[in-house]
Amino acid sequence: MPTRVVTIINRKGLHARSAAKLVAVANQYDCQIELTCEGKNANCHSVMALMMLAAGLGKELHIATCGDNADQALEAICSLIESGFEELDEDTP
């Protein structure tokens, strides 16, 4: 089971729009993808589950994938998070 830890770098954290982006990426892969933050787990195929993590700026996300294309899914999810959910320009005042 491939795993990795990434840190949220966008100011707004894992909010509705970023969770929706994460689900869109997760849905491209036929595997299980789970995020853990401070002991709480969430399925990456559920916007509500991801938002319930309440993962803000600086929080570490532990990502685990299992199944077909697990390595590719892990890389894609990590890339999205490490890009700040493509919102870093919005964080600049």
Active site residue 45: no
The type of residue at 93 is P
* DSSP classification of residue 14: S
Alpha-carbon gap, residue 38 to 59, rounded angstroms: 8
The type of residue at 32 is Q
Q: Of the listed 15, 17, 45, 59, which one is catalytic? A: 15
Tokens read off for 87 = 């919102």
Alpha-carbon gap, residue 57 to 71, rounded angstroms: 25
Question: Would you please indicate which residues are annotated as catalytic (active-site) residues?
Answer: 15
